[in-house]
Amino acid sequence: MPEKIIAGKTVNVDDEGYLVDYKEWTEEMALEIARAEGIEELTDRHLLVINFMRAEFEANGTGPSIRRLNKKSGVPTKELYQLFPGGPAKKAARIAGITKPQGCV
């Protein structure tokens, strides 16, 4: 299993770069991962989505699909794509420190 240093902490990641243990995640890691994903700043709206992703993961063992993210987080699909360009569910999951949501390719 590959290791990666994120925000000064060595963590295990899978082959796609998602944290293996979501409990190792910190907000400082989120900022660094976001920058690597091309998101320079995490706004309150970003954090709302990220916290929703983490809560869903804790409750269900997987992150929400884009459809569930849209319906339950209160953030419209168009805004999700503005916040997390190029694949909101996958990108938000990576920044949130959880595994890739089921159904994402």
Nearest of 42, 29, 32 to residue 84 by alpha carbon: 42
CB under 8 Å to 78, separation ≥6 — which residues?
none
- Clarify whether 104 is annotated catalytic: yes
CA angle 100, 8, 5 (to 5 degrees): 45
Of these residues, 7, 31, 47, 104, which one is catalytic? Answer: 104
Return the active site residues.
104
